[in-house]
Chains A and B, each alone.
Chain A
Amino acid sequence: GAVVSQHPSRVICKSGTSVKIECRSLDFQATTMFWYRQFPKQSLMLMATSNEGSKATYEQGVEKDKFLINHASLTLSTLTVTSAHPEDSSFYICSASLQGYTDTQYFGPGTRLTVL
């Protein structure tokens, strides 16, 4: 149980285009979903936390207009990287929990974004 999927697993796009990444909890309803960014050989950096039906809470230094998050249902959250630039190239990982902050987070397999 507690499986989280992400789509796509890998995406290459041109600079200036927007990319949407989906995060789904497959066998449970996730009250809260988290979006992380991971640079090569570095730790996970929390970008934002989203609760179903409400606006996402962004961490300091993360641009809301650049990284649009939508948590449309209890099983789906999307991250859209708008007007992507090469410096946005990274590994984006989502996680989902049953009951918000205090519950165990189950991680998706990640999406490798490369912006040319």
Chain B
Amino acid sequence: GQQVMQIPQYQHVQEGEDFTTYCNSSTTLSNIQWYKQRPGGHPVFLIQLVKSGEVKKQKRLTFQFGEAKKNSSLHITATQTTDVGTYFCAGRDSWGKLQFGAGTQVVVTP
């Protein structure tokens, strides 16, 4: 079955630094979504990527969908303390089912 792997599992970032989290699927995805979950909170939808090679930006966040539609990345520039949380990717397979990656827990130190 489809597997969605996400790395790293844990990211410790100094405020102001950049970091990237990566998502890889064992099968081709119809689309991929990214969510952010603050500590103690619930997942909040960030963005959906559909097209091969698509790149979308939300302020300091840059989302990319690979050419083969099997991988994706989220890059955050100039990290702020408000970026703390766990970032999940979720890949949608050809049957429409959404499978979540394990998440990248981000800790930001001032």
Binding site for B on A (CB under 8 A): 41-46, 93, 100-102, 104-110
Is B43 within 8 A of A93, CB to CB?
yes
Within 8 A of A (CB), among B54-110: 88, 92, 95-103, 105
Measured CA separation A110–B38 after assembly (Å) = 13
Measured CA separation A105–B97 after assembly (Å) = 12
Measured CA separation A42–B9 after assembly (Å) = 10
A-B pair count, CB < 8 Å, reads: 42
Known: A100-B96, A104-B45, A107-B42. 9 other contacts (CB 8 A): A43-B88, A43-B100, A43-B102, A46-B99, A101-B96, A105-B98, A106-B45, A108-B42, A109-B41
Binding site for A on B (CB under 8 A): 30, 33, 35, 41-45, 48, 88, 92, 95-103, 105
Is A43 within 8 A of B103, CB to CB?
yes
Given the interface pairs A44-B43, A93-B42, A106-B45, the reply to whether A101 lies near B97 with Cβ below 8 Å is yes
Is B44 within 8 A of A104, CB to CB?
no
Min CB–CB distance A33 → chain B (angstroms): 13
Given the interface pairs A105-B45, A109-B42, the reply to whether A41 lies near B105 with Cβ below 8 Å is yes
Contacting residues, chain A, for B44 (C-beta < 8 A): 107
Contacting residues, chain B, for A100 (C-beta < 8 A): 96
Contacting residues, chain B, for A107 (C-beta < 8 A): 35, 42-45
Given the interface pairs A104-B33, A107-B43, A107-B44, the reply to whether A43 lies near B96 with Cβ below 8 Å is no
Measured CA separation A90–B102 after assembly (Å) = 16
Measured CA separation A100–B92 after assembly (Å) = 12
Min CB–CB distance A54 → chain B (angstroms): 16
The 4 closest A-B pairs by CB, nearest first: A101-B96, A43-B102, A43-B100, A44-B100
Is A102 within 8 A of B43, CB to CB?
no
Contacting residues, chain A, for B45 (C-beta < 8 A): 104-107
Question: Which A residue's beta carbon lies closest to that of B102?
Answer: A43
Which residue of A43, A101, A105, A107 has the most chain B CB atoms within 10 A of its CB atom? A43
